[in-house]
Structure 1
Amino acid sequence: MEPIWAILILLVLMVFGVPVAWCFAGVLMYLVWAYDVSTLTLLLQGFRSLDSVILLALPLFVLAGYLMQSGGVARRLISFMELMVKGRKGGLGAALVLSSGIFGAISGTATAAVASIGTIMIGPLADRGYPRGYTAALLGLSSLLGILIPPSITMILFGVVTRQSITALFAASVVPGLLLMIGLILFNKIMAGRFLAARENLPPPAEVTQESGFSITYKALPALSMPLIILGGIYGGVFTPTEAAAVACVTAILIGFFIYRDLTFGRLRDSLISAGETTGTIIFILLFSFMIGRVMVAEGVPQELTEFVTGLTDNRILILLLVNVFLIFVGMIMDDLSVTVVIAPLFLPLMLANDVDPVHFGTIVACSVVIGANSPPVAPILYMACRTGKVSIHRAVAPALMMIFWVALPVMLAVTFLPALSLFLPRLIGVY
């Protein structure tokens, strides 16, 4: 009964607008009281769990995202993507999806993609006939490509709390990320044929001559080289994910200062402050979640959950569907960090008992976060996309649910029941 009360306390605190880190602190206080656990022991265990070299990648990738946001990388990526899809129906929407995917592959965060890509693209999309509610929904879904396309902060957190290989998790999420990207582009092309019917012959997003097209491509090369350097270095064995994060920061600073010259010392300072604030919040959440996890494990909660679910059914397919539904439901009312660092580890013993590979389970969790983060009532990423696009959330809910039903949900089901989609690439390149 105590775990149920703990979840209810967490939800109530979130509903009243308590910061997420302190929501976890409230849950921890209840569990310490309910189970009469030594706070000193928990603190020692929590800080010991934070003492991880892998976790160093977290603040560095967060900082890299802010540096690229303020260093002009996003603007060059968008110009290049517009050049690639110019004149095609739905091309500008496809450019938004592609730009979000590539920017997410560099920064590893959805919020950075929403802020950077959305600020630049929502206005031009609206000018060309795209409804703002639809554009905000497309931005919300596509920004979460950064969760699946490596490097991903969500995958780093999942690997830390479940003790799995970060490199294998990065590789496992590539195919699901590409499937989601392709699905959103196709969905956008179909929808654009409806609300752009009066504009059959769309002009290019910009009057691009051969010379200007070469100039746009040339200027985008430093930005496009970043994912190649980061991922190529990781999978080529040149450096670890943590070292890759440091390389990403250095590369972003060099590109921002000396190539694009959009990065100033003032913007560098602001990026450092923002990255520090974001990292501090995540570390607090991790600390409290580690401590909560210790209490749960000591009291046998994961085993009780496994027994409860298997008591309902012993059919593997039904168990996987139940887990999918629960992850989506929890993702609708909790943020992605909560789902990744608290809920996912509770289900891991159940997944192992049903022969689900833990790396495969990581991609299932990531797909559920994509759906949950854009589903009411909380929908944090969708709300952020709406604020960026200056549109009411009510106008974005319907198109967001359509994209979830026709694109994100089928991808999640395919990833769940076809493990090869996740495990093929890690095994092919020899990292798992």
Structure 2
Amino acid sequence: MEALFGILLLMALMIFGVPVAWSFAGVLMFLVWAYDVSTSTLLLQGFRSLDSVILLALPLFVLAGYLMQSGGVAARLISFMSMAMRGRKGGLGAALIGSSGVFGAISGTATAAVASIGTIMGDPLAARGYPRGYTSALLGVSSLLGILIPPSITLILFGVVTRQSITALFAATIVPGLLLMFGLMLFNKIVTARMLVDTPERMAAISAQKSPHGPLRATLQALPALMMPVVILGGIYGGVFTPTEAAAVALFMAILIGFFIYRDLTLSRFRQSLVEAGETTGTIILILLFSFMIGRIMVAESVPQELTEAVTHLTENKILILLLVNAFLIFVGMIMDDLSVTVVIAPLMMPLMVHHGVDPVHYASIVACSVVIGANSPPVAPILYMACRIGKVSIHEAVKPALQIIFYVALPVMLLVTFFPELSLFVPRLLGLH
């Protein structure tokens, strides 16, 4: 009962606007009081949990993402994708989705994709007749491709708190990520076929936005950016370097490309990126510290085992249990941010999943797909709110298209991933990682 109240307290604190890290601190204080836990031992266990080489990848990937955002990588990717999709109705929307996918395969964060791609593409999409509400909704969901397509900061956190192989987790979400990307492109093609009308204003905007440079120049300019995921993922799966070393390589390439190839990265922007990355990393580390200690308390009090027994008494049907887990993950994702779902709720339900024969690597894909839905669903919907701010539109105009995208694309992908484990396990097994 105390653990359940702790989770409800965490949700309530977030709803009332308490910063995420301090919401975790408030829950930790309550659980320490409720279970009469020794804080000195708990703090020692928490700091020991942070002593992980894998966690070094976190600040490196975060900083690499910020440097790519300010170093011209997103702009070249968008130019290349727009060129590849030229001449097709809805092509610019598809370019937004493709750019989010590729950028996610470099930075590993949704916020960087929203900020970079949304800032560059918002006005051109509006000029071509895309409603800003629809554009913001599409951007919000597409940006979460960065969670599914590796490398992913969310999957790094999941691997740390559940003691799973980061490399195997990266491989597990490749197919779900590609399914979501192609699903979004198909949805965009169907919707824009009737939404975009070839008015004189729209045709004039298309002519005005045509690049003066040919396809060859756009491709050559984007080549350094496109090589980044190839080097990073190829190095990880080829056994050349670990995920932590891959993060260092990503950071080195971001600095090299930003300063010396694109030359958009200045010392001022570099300094600003360092500050922003430090703030983001500090917040995540605080959340991890508090979540580790909360997890220790819950394990000591047998909360995961009690949850497993309670659900098992309710039903033994694996299909119903998976549907219940899906519904619960989506529900908490609507109220809590992706980090909270990953570091608190996901580990809490891990014993239940393992008890019913769900592979932990498969479970990671289920959690990642749920984050895509929850992060764009009211009342909290942090990614959708951010996309609306950048897209210069009210959240009310984006909710309906966002829910349509979730219902027709994200939710079916989540159900496919849930009930067809091979979609997640095929690539890790093919690469000998699982």
Name the TM tier (shorter chain): over 0.9
Cα contact 2:183–2:409 (8 A) shared by 1: yes
Cα contact 2:124–2:209 (8 A) shared by 1: no
2:146 is aligned to: 146
Give CA-to-partner distance per residue, 1:138-195, whole Å, 9 cap, x none.
Answer: 0000000000000000100000000000000000000000000000000001110121
Distance 1:192 1:205 in 2: 20
Distance 1:267 1:253 in 2: 11
1:385 is aligned to: 387
Distance 2:145 2:229 in 1: 14
2:351 is aligned to: 349
2:95 is aligned to: 95
Give CA-to-partner distance per residue, 1:323-365, whole Å, 9 cap, x none.
Answer: 0000000000000000000000011000000100000000000
Cα contact 2:169–2:364 (8 A) shared by 1: yes
Taking a change above 3 Å as real, the CA distance of residues 217 and 295 of structure 1, as seen in their structure-2 partners, is same
Cα contact 1:118–1:385 (8 A) shared by 2: yes
Equivalent positions of 1:245-284 (< 5 A) are 245-284=247-286
**What's the CA shift for 1:49?**
0.4
Distance 1:12 1:352 in 2: 29
2:377 is aligned to: 375
Distance 2:334 2:236 in 1: 33
Distance 2:14 2:270 in 1: 32
> TM-score of the superposition, structure 1-length normalised?
0.98
Taking a change above 3 Å as real, the CA distance of residues 294 and 205 of structure 1, as seen in their structure-2 partners, is farther
Distance 1:260 1:204 in 2: 26
**What's the CA shift for 1:204?**
6.5
2:309 is aligned to: 307
Cα contact 1:76–1:219 (8 A) shared by 2: yes
Which of structure 1's runs of 4+ aligned residues deviate more than 2 A? 197-209
One-letter amino acid matched to 2:336: M
Cα contact 1:82–1:205 (8 A) shared by 2: no
Taking a change above 3 Å as real, the CA distance of residues 310 and 118 of structure 1, as seen in their structure-2 partners, is same
Distance 1:193 1:420 in 2: 34
One-letter amino acid matched to 1:398: K
**What's the CA shift for 1:50?**
0.3
2:59 is aligned to: 59
2:323 is aligned to: 321
Equivalent positions of 1:288-303 (< 5 A) are 288-303=290-305
Unaligned runs of at least 5 residues, structure 1: none
Q: Which of 327, 336, 339 is matched with 1:337 structurally?
A: 339
Equivalent positions of 1:52-201 (< 5 A) are 52-199=52-199
Cα contact 2:66–2:112 (8 A) shared by 1: yes
Residue identity (%) = 77
Give CA-to-partner distance per residue, 1:283-317, whole Å, 9 cap, x none.
Answer: 00000000000000000000111011111100000
**What's the CA shift for 1:206?**
3.8
**What's the CA shift for 1:7?**
1.5
One-letter amino acid matched to 2:57: A
One-letter amino acid matched to 1:288: F
Distance 2:215 2:246 in 1: 31
Distance 1:240 1:292 in 2: 29
Distance 2:387 2:432 in 1: 38
Distance 2:199 2:218 in 1: 26
1:36 is aligned to: 36
**What's the CA shift for 1:205?**
7.6
One-letter amino acid matched to 1:215: R
Equivalent positions of 1:204-219 (< 5 A) are 206-208=209-211, 212-219=214-221
Give CA-to-partner distance per residue, 1:369-406, whole Å, 9 cap, x none.
Answer: 00000000000000000001010000000000000000
**What's the CA shift for 1:207?**
3.0
Give CA-to-partner distance per residue, 1:85-131, whole Å, 9 cap, x none.
Answer: 00101100000000001001100000000000000001100000000
Q: SS of the counterpart of 2:214?
A: helix
Distance 2:208 2:186 in 1: 19
Distance 1:141 1:277 in 2: 25
Cα contact 1:87–1:204 (8 A) shared by 2: no
Cα contact 1:332–1:375 (8 A) shared by 2: yes
Distance 2:332 2:210 in 1: 46
Taking a change above 3 Å as real, the CA distance of residues 205 and 377 of structure 1, as seen in their structure-2 partners, is farther
1:24 is aligned to: 24
Q: SS of the counterpart of 1:159?
A: helix
One-letter amino acid matched to 2:113: A
Distance 1:175 1:243 in 2: 24
**What's the CA shift for 1:198?**
3.5
Cα contact 1:110–1:147 (8 A) shared by 2: yes
Distance 1:212 1:371 in 2: 38
One-letter amino acid matched to 2:433: V
Distance 1:368 1:245 in 2: 25
Cα contact 2:104–2:143 (8 A) shared by 1: yes
Q: SS of the counterpart of 1:238?
A: coil
Distance 1:195 1:98 in 2: 20
One-letter amino acid matched to 2:154: T
Distance 2:339 2:412 in 1: 23
Distance 2:217 2:363 in 1: 43
Cα contact 1:92–1:205 (8 A) shared by 2: no
One-letter amino acid matched to 1:183: G
Cα contact 1:104–1:110 (8 A) shared by 2: yes
> TM-score of the superposition, structure 2-length normalised?
0.98
**What's the CA shift for 1:215?**
1.0
Alpha-carbon RMSD: 1.2
Distance 1:345 1:280 in 2: 22
